[in-house]
Structure 1
Amino acid sequence: MYGGYYLSLNPISLRPALLDELEQLFLLVTKDEAWTQFNGPYFPYKTPTLADFKANLFARMYEGESMQLITKGGVPVGSVSYYWECESTRWLEVGVVIYDSNYWGQGIGYLALIPWVSHLFATKEIERVGLTTWSGNPRMMICAEKLGFLQEACLRKVRYYNGEYYDSVKYGVLRSEWKHTITPLGQG
């Protein structure tokens, strides 16, 4: 339980990584890298070494503050995260990745973001949570809208990938909107 909000929607749960999961999570992230085609593929990506993974992504997962694992039935399948676009102005953005493509299309990202966003509003001095995606990821756009995020900006043709231009699409939800859209335990 975080700040009065449970980070679990059975069978979907959020939790920090465990130390003994390092190799398992490394394989999860690197074995099936189809996720990289949707998670900002216009940014350079290189498969990390185990040492790089441990020092960076796994460290964030283990620490559990800015990133947590998504599990389905106790099995890690993805992660939720946040980052500061500008911490001094309290501009926070969230992200979600389902690493194992066998779990795509099951609504796991949607179910994971409900308690994650609720947790962020409960524990951070913020009035808005943002979510930025691109027009090459229509599932993420649908997920954001289903959660009650409003499209706030569409920067046309600013993401070049595989010989084609895509839009950067920015969504946001205010604290007052989230309270009315999603109940604290994610049962909205």
Structure 2
Amino acid sequence: MSAVHQPTIAIRCARSGELDCLYQLVTSNELWSEFNGPYFPYMSPTIEEFAATSFERMLLGQDMQLITIDDRPVGTVNSYWECEATRLLEAGVVLYDEKCWGKGIAAQAVPLWISALFARHDIERVGMTTWSGNPRMMALAEKVGLTLEARLRKVRFHKGVYYDSVKYGVLRSEWNARQA
């Protein structure tokens, strides 16, 4: 009996030859944008805009990397400074193809990214913020070991409805204890 192939989930920087396929991945289906802060206006970039912004960030890999399945890109992990002076760093994740949703892919990729962020930065906490209209993201944050730290009630208005901003975080000491 042959073993069933278990796909390898990893994160990595983009490669220079991946511009076209990554642009296609990000812009061919915008359903992901309905969950990734849809209260902020989103318009697909031109390929030139994409090359100069997101793709450049993916190539450098400092604040954005690809999520891959058997080295095939399916999404990204990212980070941004909420306040660099106070070392308040937020992380995020997007799986662009909804066929990848609900399969535990982000639950494998996000811990890799959080570990990388703690290794790269002199910080004591990594946060993830979502909105109450994205229950999968809230479940993911808890599944990977982040703690619910704040709920700002009714601060995200989308399609005539108010939603909460939901903030999660993990301290370096908590993360290290979980990884040990």
Give unmatched runs, 5+ long, in structure 1: 1-8, 184-188
What's 2:49 paired with? 52
So what's the TM-score if we normalise by structure 1?
0.90
Q: Distance in 2 between matches of 1:152 and 1:66?
A: 23
So what's the TM-score if we normalise by structure 2?
0.94
RMSD: 1.2
What's 1:163 paired with? 160
Name the SS for the 1:17 alignment partner.
coil
Q: Distance in 2 between matches of 1:124 and 1:29?
A: 28
Q: Distance in 1 between matches of 2:130 and 2:50?
A: 24
Q: What is the letter of the counterpart of residue 152 of structure 1?
A: E
Q: Distance in 2 between matches of 1:172 and 1:81?
A: 15
Q: What is the letter of the counterpart of residue 133 of structure 1?
A: T
Give unmatched runs, 5+ long, in structure 2: 1-5
Aligned positions, number: 175
Pairwise mapping of residues 1-188 of structure 1 onto structure 2 (< 5 A)? 11-183=8-180
Deviation at 1:10?
Answer: 5.9
Native 8 Å contact 1:114 1:182 kept in 2: no
Could you list the structure 1 runs, at least 4 aligned residues long, displaced by more than 4 angstroms after superposition: none
Identity %: 58
Structure scoring higher RCO (CA < 8 A, sep ≥ 6) equals 1
What's 2:3 paired with? none
Deviation at 1:31?
Answer: 0.3
